Copies of this chain bind each other. A is one copy, B any other.
Amino acid sequence: MGLSGISLLTTTYSLILQHQSLLLCLRAKGFGLDLKKDMEGVDYLSDERKKAQFDVEAMKIAWAGSLEAFQLSDRMAKLVANDPAFEKFTRPMLGRKELIKNTLRKAAHGWKLIVDLRLTEEEAKWLRLYIDEPAYTDLHWGMFIPAIEGQGTEEQKKKWLPLAKKMQIIGCYAQTELGHGSNVQGLETTATFDPQTDEFIMHSPTLTSSKWWPGGLGKASTHAVVYARLIVGGEFHGVHGFIVQLRSLDDHSPLPGVTVGDIGMKFGNGAYNTMDNGVLRFDHVRIPRDQMLMRVSQVTREGKIMQSDVPRQLIYGTMVYVRQTIVADASKALSRAVCIATRYSAIRRQFGSRNGGPETQVIDYKTQQSRLFPLLASAYAFRFVGEWLKWLYTDVKERLAANDFSTLPEAHACTAGLKSLTTSFTADGIEECRKLCGGHGYLVSSGLPELFAVYIPACTYEGDNVVLLLQVARFLVKTVSELGYKKPVGTTAYMGRVASLMQNNCAVQTAEGWLNPGAVVEAFESRAARMAVRCGQQLAKYENPEEGFAELSADLVEASIAHCQLIVVSKFIEKLQQDIPGKGVKQTLEVLCYVYALFLLHKHQGDFLATGYLTPKQASLANDQLRTLYSKVRPNAITLVDSFNYTDHYLGSILGRYDGNVYPKLYEAAWKDPLNDSDVVDGFYEYVQPILKQKLRTAKL
């Protein structure tokens, strides 16, 4: 065995300690490998990194939002990455029980760190993010506590929040039922007031009323905020939240009348199976009256329903908040996938060898660029629109505090639409990144299968993406119909210029002409305005507007998408009008902004042509410009994904390793599959040998 063989053994030594069985395999398998070029500590992407035309450290800050945000996130990422307790490589190989036990351990370890290091809530949030494993704590902190904060009275908050914040109780958010998700008013669980005992009786009257899906409910939670139909005096008074204890605080066993369990396996290896999404049924479970969350509506001792003067619109504020975080998550998920695919596209070579030289890096193929770079640009676009949404939320909050509800419908439609747009695109984008990695993207060790499987529920939860787009459409059609007497605000302000947007056509005459923010925004505004107006005209033909809305819903969805894409493009352009420090940073982002806009323009050229705003020639010029832009992205591609500042732990991908040392690590990883524990597979003597020996007739199968 030469030097190269020894180098392989050294490399893998730490892994071997964890996986004794591996040792034998690798000793046997290390022979003859020419690994001279594959040693540790080499950066296989260093040539790529030298090509950067911008200051990477400054771009990291631009991506993070501020120096402080960067430092905080960086600190938490490294804290997790350097702690072996958070190892996640073996996750996809664990059976369900082991998997959940492992998650409980990580959650406890994370909480211990938060307490021991006295982390702030913000730091704790980033820590949980980088642990990168869905767990009951997400719902406890992200839904249970906020529900009490938002819907509880001062008294209720005083009682429950200290318990929850010390985790003396663990809570979840039990809204969705087996038969009802999108339609909250259709929930069937009942909470019936019993004036004799001053209690509510929680009950699950039908099979479909079983609570179904809530995360953390199945195995971990001791409490839940349960949404149920309030029944007082035999009458139905809407759906409200109730704090219900589910399990004993001593031995964790379900309380009498409570049936609770896990709903079973979900998509993917590891992925969301670390979460105990639960099923819950009540058999006339009694809770004290003061466990109904009563900030907005109250039931008195006498069984009277009272309304407080707290504005009901508050609930929309919460929705804006939650959806804003979902948009932020979309940019995280998409950027992770793009980082993996971009790095591996620079490592992977295929075809094009000249005179026995190296083959072409696949990132140099235009087909690869035309699929990958728009995803890269989208990751940045979503990052910046998410940042803007954060501002929008604070603005909405301030206005609500001042009883100003004027911008609320627009803000609500805008966040609903952006949630839908960014999550759908991200889900598809992750799978596209997987395909861009060729066959190896199909391996769990690429990280992409788990990223996809864990991400896709975002298209369904917190509002199904198509249902949300229909809400946006309703708002757009209303805005158009009211143009005569109501000035559109915020992201619909452009509708105020509808007359000129319907009339003026595009003036671009060269490919370079498209490198003009005004021309780009006008194109997207005209397309969106024309599609919305056209929907309005079509709807007017129906006697029954609801019937028309139902009939035309597919077209309405397309108009909504046009409007939402306009928002993302506009906010990217607005971002570039701000000061962004660092050599070449703004120029590089400008290229990405045009890539994003012109990619959409080409993809949806049907809309632009059908509305008559563009001529085929102009659409073709945009496409020509797009090709030129890809060449401008190319030298910066690796450093643009480095700017996300993701650790190898967070990426969780051999293909996306920072150092690009892909093939030796893929090879090593293979031997860790439990199947390779033995040379002869379990089952050989029972099920394979009888075939080979032609003794199947007498074999016991």
Q: Give CA–CA (A608, B93) in the complex, Å.
A: 49
Query: Interface segment, A287-295, A377-385, A668-676?
Result: A668-676
In the bound assembly, the distance between CA atoms of A538 and B107 in angstroms comes to 58
Q: Whole-angstrom distance from the CB of A352 to the nearest CB of chain B? A: 9
Inter-chain contact A690/B366, CB cutoff 8 Å:
no
Q: Is A283 an interface residue (CB 8 A)?
A: yes
Cβ of A576 within 8 Å of any chain B Cβ, yes or no, is: no
Q: How far is the CB of A413 from chain B (nearest CB, A)?
A: 17
Is A265 interfacial (CB-CB < 8 Å)? Answer: yes
Q: Is the CB of B461 within 8 A of A673?
A: no
**CA separation between A312 and B609, bound complex, in Å?**
48
Contact A616 B610 (CB under 8 A): yes
Chain B nearest CB from A496 CB (Å) reads 25
Q: Are A683 and B259 also in contact (CB < 8 A) when A269-B269, A367-B466, A554-B627 are?
A: no
Residue A19 interfacial (CB < 8 Å): no
Q: Judging by beta carbons under 8 Å apart, are A262 and B676 in contact?
A: yes
Is A266's CB under 8 angstroms from B673's CB?
no
Sampled A-B contacts (30; CB under 8 Å): A31-B283, A32-B283, A33-B207, A105-B701, A107-B687, A108-B690, A111-B691, A167-B692, A168-B694, A170-B688, A181-B439, A183-B350, A186-B351, A207-B667, A208-B663, A213-B439, A219-B675, A262-B676, A264-B443, A264-B445, A265-B443, A267-B449, A276-B681, A366-B550, A439-B460, A554-B627, A605-B609, A606-B619, A611-B616, A612-B616
7 nearest A-B pairs in the assembled complex, by CB-CB distance:
A606-B606, A101-B683, A605-B606, A267-B449, A370-B554, A219-B681, A104-B687
A626: nearest chain-B partner, CB-CB: B554
Number of copies: 2
Q: How far is the CA of A182 from the CA of B435 in the complex (A)?
A: 13
**Cβ contact within 8 Å between A619 and B627:** no
Q: Which residue of B lies closest to A444 (CB)?
A: B265
Closest chain B residue, CB of each to CB of A684: B252
Is A555 an interface residue, CB under 8 A from the partner? Answer: yes
Q: Which residues of chain A from 235 to 252 have a CB within 8 Å of any chain B CB?
A: 249, 251-252
Q: Give residues of chain A (589-641) contacting chain B, Cβ–Cβ below 8 Å.
A: 604-612, 616, 619-620, 623, 627
In the complex, the answer to whether B101 meets A687 with C-beta atoms within 8 Å is yes
Write the chain B residue with the least CB distance to A611: B616
The answer to whether A623 touches B252, judged by C-beta atoms less than 8 angstroms apart, is no
Residues of chain B contacted by A673 (CB below 8 angstroms): 96, 261-265
**Given the contacts A351-B182, A675-B96, A694-B166, A104 and B681 also touching, CB distance less than 8 Å:** yes
Stretch at the interface among A172-180, A391-399, A475-483, A643-651: A172-180
Decide yes or no whether A653 CB sits under 8 A from chain B. no
In the complex, are the beta carbons of A679 and B254 less than 8 A apart?
yes
CA A107 to CA B688, docked complex, whole Å:
9
Rounded to whole Å, the gap between the CB of A242 and the closest CB of chain B is 19
How far does the Cβ of A265 sit from chain B's closest Cβ, in whole Å?
4
- Assess whether B664 is in contact with A207, with CB atoms less than 8 Å apart: yes
Q: Which residues of chain B come closer than 8 Å to A676, judged between CB atoms?
A: 261-262
Q: A170-B688, A439-B460 are in contact. List 14 more A-B contacts (CB 8 A).
A: A96-B673, A96-B675, A167-B692, A169-B692, A183-B351, A219-B675, A262-B676, A263-B673, A264-B673, A266-B443, A266-B449, A276-B681, A366-B552, A431-B431
Give chain B residues whose Cβ lies under 8 Å from the Cβ of A167: 691-692
Which residue of chain B is the closest to A213 with respect to CB atoms?
A: B439
Query: Nearest-CB distance from A522 to chain B (Å)?
Result: 19
Contact B663 A179 (CB under 8 A): yes
Chain B residues closer than 8 Å to A553, beta-carbon distance = 365-367, 370
Instruction: Classify chain A's interface size.
Output: 35 or more
Q: A570 on the interface (CB 8 Å rule)?
A: no
A506 interface residue (CB < 8 Å to B): no
A670 touching B616 in the complex, CB below 8 Å, given contacts A33-B207, A683-B100: no
- Chain B residues lying within 8 Å of A115, measured Cβ to Cβ, are 696-697
Task: Give complex CA distance A375, B649 in Å.
Answer: 39
Partner of A680, one of B251, B350, B470, B551: B251
Nearest-Cβ distance from residue A508 to partner chain B, whole angstroms: 15
- A404 interface residue per 8 A CB criterion: no
On chain B, the residues within 8 Å of A94 by CB distance are: 95
Closest to A163 in B: B692
- Residues B701 and A178 in contact, CB atoms below 8 Å apart: no
Question: CB-CB < 8 A to A604: which residues of B?
Answer: 606
Given contacts A459-B435, A673-B265, contact A105 B686 (CB under 8 A): yes
A425, chain B: closest CB distance, angstroms: 13
The reply to whether A683 and B183 form a contact with Cβ atoms under 8 Å apart is no
B179, A681: Cβ atoms under 8 Å? no
A318-360 interface bits toward B, Cβ cutoff 8 Å, 1 = contact, 0 = none: 0000000000000000000000000000000111010000010
Q: Is A279 an interface residue (CB 8 A)?
A: yes
Q: Are A439 and B457 in contact (CB under 8 A)?
A: yes
Cα-based distance from A135 to B261 in the complex (angstroms): 34
A92 interface residue per 8 A CB criterion: yes
Beta-carbon nearest neighbor of A546 in chain B: B352
A13 at the interface (CB under 8 A from B): no
Q: In angstroms, how far is the closest chain B Cβ from the Cβ of A663?
A: 6
